[in-house]
Amino acid sequence: MNRRQFLRGSGSIAIALPFLSSLQGRVGAAPTPRPKRFIAWFSACGTINPVWTPSGTESAFNFGDILRPLDPYKSDVLILDGVDMLSTSYGPGSAHQKGMGHLLTGTELQSGSFAGGGGASAGFAGGVSLDQVIAKRIGAGSKLASVQLAVQAFNNDVWSRMSYSGAGVSLPPINDPQIAFDRMFGGMVGDPAAVTKLRAQRKSVLDGVAGHFASLNGKLSGEDRTRLDAHLFAVRDVEKRLDAVSSSTCKTPTRPGTMDLKSQAAFPVVGKLQMELLALALACDISRVATFQWSRATSPTVYSWLGSDMKESHHELSHAGDSDAVAKAKLVRINKWHAEQFAYFLGLLKKTEEAPGETLLDNSLVFWGNELAVGNTHSRKDMPFVLAGRAGGAIKPGRYIKYPSGTPHNNLLVSMGNAMGATDLTTFGNAKYCTGALAKLAG
């Protein structure tokens, strides 16, 4: 019995956050012309719509209480009202499973109880996710075509995955800032001669590994072949990155220390560190595409740091009835806290100047989604979607747009793809649930 697994919510956490200073006023880390960046952001269990929804008109609006932390970035965000996850009305899976699996894929989950659903009724997502489509277009020039980060999303199932390189092939997010650091900044650390030597050593070992895979050629059957090929591809990917010399002038950040990852108290701390690591990786052009997920669909997170009255898990609270004012108030606090985190991240991007008068946020598109609109009804209509950044001019933020009810979110996926340079995309996910690009995003 691993007792540690049950020791949550105890112990204090004190770690250094060494990255913030690296970002302040940075200029010129990225190559010219500046690349675009795409970040898909996730928080769980829906929102409280009346408190989330802004009031006013497209250009003159006020945030509701939940999004009020975004006030300093009002000119940088685009609030989307009325977009439905239409595709999630189809295919196998429960509401939470579908909401998560469809969010970036816009198509039905795989069926059967074999993979992804933890033995339940549905499998992993049934198609490639938008971040991976974008990574194929714009990720090649950076060390990592994409990164997947999370805060306490440890499970390997459809509730815990938002990024897919193809149908049923989920990309696991990294929950540990040390591992995230190693993946993003590893190989940059140390004196250049030692770094070069380490690369050579790794390359020689990985060549040997690839040789072992090659010796299996022709000896395995179909499904085995597919799995082993995917593994070899992953090895080659690791090897390829050894050669990728960062073109940035980024100063190597300090590797984070070992920290508690699982306790309640760790959630905001790990989250902040992961946000800073990601912002730095984007600023340094180590990666241009990312997913960032707070917990997972049906989030078990207990937001104990928001007050001693926060005893229930997020998912549990989200099921409270509409008449439960106490639970509703707690959900507002949770969602507002997430808006604060989103604002913090936008702040990191905005502080990073890439050229005079041009920030990292200007060159980014950040999409904040959720697996549900409303927790207690499991509705995926009128999703609480927020965009931020200008995508290098392809998006015109500073607005609140109301779409006609029934507007499918696949249209948004098309538009975000278009904005990130995949201008040939006319549909996304299952075309049945897509009527083309979403209007008005460019202004």
Partner 1 sequence: MGSIGRIRAVTPDIAHRGWKVQRVQRREAMSRNALIVALLLPLGCIGSIGHEDGSDPSGPNGPSEPGGPTTTTTAACADGTIDPGPSPVRRLTRIEYDNTVRDLFGVDLKVGATFPADQTVLGFDNNALGLTVTSVLAEQYMNAAEKLAVAALPRVKAIGGCTAAAMGETACAKQTAERLARRAFRRPANDEQIASLMAAYAARREATFDSGLESMTQLVLQSPFFLYRVELGSVATDKPGLLRLDDHEIASRLSYFLWNSMPDDTLFAAADEGKLATREEIAAQARRMLKDPRAKAAVANFHRQWMELDHLEEVPKDPNVFPEFDDALRGDLRDETATFLENVFWNDGSMESLFTAPYTFANARLAKVYGLPAPSGSGFLKLPTDPSKRIGVLLQPAVQSLHAIAYESSPIYRGKFIREKILCHEIAPPPEGLVVVPPEVDPSKSTRERYQQHSSDAACRGCHQLMDPIGFAFEHYDGIGRYRDKEGMHAIDANGELTGTDVDGKFYGGVELAKRLSKSQEVASCVTTHWFRFAYGRGETEADRCSVATLKQKFAAAKYDMRELVVELTQTDAFLYRKVSP
Q: Segment 97-116, which members bind partner 1 (CB under 8 A)?
A: 112-116
Pairing of strands 55-56, 358-359: unpaired
**Whose Cβ is closer to partner 1: residue 32's or residue 219's?**
219
Q: Of 51-59, 153-161, 362-370, 422-430, which part binds partner 1 (CB under 8 A)?
A: 153-161
72 binds partner 1 (CB under 8 A): no
Instruction: Collect all residues with Cβ–Cβ distance below 8 Å to 222 and sequence separation of at least 6.
Output: none
User: CA 100, 139, 125: angle at the middle one, nearest 5?
Assistant: 20
405 binds partner 1 (CB under 8 A): no
**Whose Cβ is closer to partner 1: residue 180's or residue 366's?**
180
* Alpha carbons 324 and 329: distance in angstroms, whole number: 9
Confirm if 261 and 270 have CB atoms less than 8 A apart: yes
**Binds partner 1 (CB under 8 A): choice among 16, 215, 404, 424:** 215
DSSP H helix total and E strand total for the chain: 11, 15
**Binds partner 1 (CB under 8 A): choice among 209, 306, 329, 442:** 209
* Alpha carbons 279 and 256: distance in angstroms, whole number: 15
How many of the chain's residues bind partner 1 (CB under 8 A)?
82
Confirm if 111 and 91 have CB atoms less than 8 A apart: yes
216 binds partner 1 (CB under 8 A): yes
CB of 103 to partner 1, least distance (A): 16
Instruction: Collect all residues with Cβ–Cβ distance below 8 Å to 88 and sequence separation of at least 6.
Output: 95, 98, 99, 102, 380
- Does residue 33 have a cis bond before it (omega within 30 degrees)? yes
156 binds partner 1 (CB under 8 A): yes
**Whose Cβ is closer to partner 1: residue 295's or residue 363's?**
295
Q: Pattern of binders to partner 1 over 321-360, x per CB under 8 A?
A: x-x-------------------------------------
CB of 209 to partner 1, least distance (A): 5
User: CA 142, 226, 157: angle at the middle one, nearest 5?
Assistant: 75
**Whose Cβ is closer to partner 1: residue 70's or residue 317's?**
317
| 3-class DSSP assignment, residue 402 | strand
62 binds partner 1 (CB under 8 A): no
**Whose Cβ is closer to partner 1: residue 315's or residue 390's?**
315
Interaction residues for partner 1, span 79-98 (CB under 8 A): 88-90, 93-94, 96
**Whose Cβ is closer to partner 1: residue 113's or residue 426's?**
113
**Binds partner 1 (CB under 8 A): choice among 74, 166, 246, 312:** 312
Instruction: Collect all residues with Cβ–Cβ distance below 8 Å to 365 and sequence separation of at least 6.
Output: 36, 37, 38, 39, 387, 388, 389, 390, 391, 394, 395, 416, 419, 420
**Binds partner 1 (CB under 8 A): choice among 12, 25, 119, 191:** 119
Q: Pattern of binders to partner 1 over 168-197, x per CB under 8 A?
A: -x-xx-x-x--x--xx--------------
